[in-house]
Amino acid sequence: MKKQIPNAITLCNLLCGCIATIYALQGELPFAAGFVVLGIFFDFFDGMLARVLHVESGIGLQLDSLADMITSGLVPGIFMVQLLFMSGISPTPINLWSEVHFYLDTDTFIPLLGLLIVLASAYRLAKFNMDVRQTSSFIGLPTPANALLIISLPLILIYQPSEIAFQLILNPWILIALTVLSCYLLNAEIPLFSLKFKTKSFKSNSIRYVFLLLSVVLLVSFWFVAIPMVIFLYVVLSVLFKGKK
């Protein structure tokens, strides 16, 4: 029974992803974002709990990736589709749930490029399960980090609106460029550190402590605008420290 506890937490992540998908399709992006964040919270603790209980298993690894595929792969892709529609590049069916026929409309082809994030996430997760190099660090941007980057964009528009935010975030070419960059970072051969603390030693975890401290400062100072900054900081620190474990 004990070995099923982490799997139950992983299934909570999957459930959050399913609910977020429905909200995202309906154009309720803040609610969808909330469930994505909750799902990522479960995703962070399921592996930790498995290690603490000494019940790590192959099925847990596979189940974790399946849950991430929905919460941190499918949902951000839908977010990008919605953002591209909102950019005015084509008519905007805010409620994709009730606009199933939009797939047959050639005018909506460009927004569907946002689904490339889903494909890149699937490929990244499949590689992760087979890559023995990613046991204590990452190669390429983790899907939860990428999801947070994408879902932060509409939150900035809604809760921290500004002229420059609308000009940048609702620029279709910037959104397409971000989609391509997202797909690249997910699968790039870039070593990135993980947030797993094996000890409390500052020396062996200096990059993690520095990252967490700077992230808190940014989030307190800039709120949702800080999320892209934190992801950028994560990549930069990883490159500077060369993916230090």
Question: Any idea what the CATH number is for the domain that residue 89 is in?
Answer: 1.20.120.1760
Q: What is the pTM of this model?
A: 0.90
pLDDT in tens, 47-88: 777 666 666 667 878 888 999 999 999 999 999 999 999 987
Structure confidence at residue 136 as a pLDDT band (50, 70, 90): low
Q: Please give the biggest Cα pair distance in the chain.
A: 57
Quote the mean pLDDT of the chain.
87
* Interstrand relation of 137-139 and 191-193 (parallel, antiparallel or unpaired): antiparallel
Domain count for the chain, please give it: 1
**185 three-state secondary structure:** helix
147: in domain:
yes
204: in domain:
no
Nearest to 181 by CA among 149, 213, 212, 221: 149
65: in domain:
yes
Distance between CA atoms of 113 and 162, rounded to whole angstroms? 26
Give the chain's length.
245
201: in domain:
no
47: in domain:
yes
16: in domain:
yes
E-assigned strands of the chain?
A: 137-139, 191-193
Residue 29 corresponds to which amino acid?
A: L
Q: Which residue has the higher pLDDT, 134 or 75?
A: 75
Distance between CA atoms of 46 and 69, rounded to whole angstroms? 15
| Per-residue H/E/C for 125-143 | HHHHHHCHHHCCEEECCCH
Q: Which residue has the higher pLDDT, 94 or 185?
A: 185
239: in domain:
no
Distance between CA atoms of 74 and 152, rounded to whole angstroms? 15
- pLDDT value at residue 66: 94
- Burial class for 217, CB neighbours closer than 10 Å (0-12, 13-18, 19+): exposed
- pLDDT value at residue 6: 81
Residue with tokens 């980090």: 145
Contact 94, 85 (CB under 8 A): yes
Average pLDDT over residues 88-92: 68
Strand partners, 193: 137
- pLDDT value at residue 205: 78
- Which of 43-47, 61-65, 221-225 comes out lowest in average pLDDT? 43-47
Using only C-alpha atoms, the chain has a radius of gyration, in whole angstroms, of: 18
- pLDDT value at residue 207: 87
Residue with tokens 């990522």: 40
Distance between CA atoms of 211 and 230, rounded to whole angstroms? 8
Print the domain residue range for 75: 2-195
223: in domain:
no
Nearest to 20 by CA among 7, 9, 34, 6: 34
Residue 226 corresponds to which amino acid?
A: A
User: In Å, how far are 14, 23, 76, 227 from 134, measured between CA atoms?
Assistant: 22, 32, 23, 24
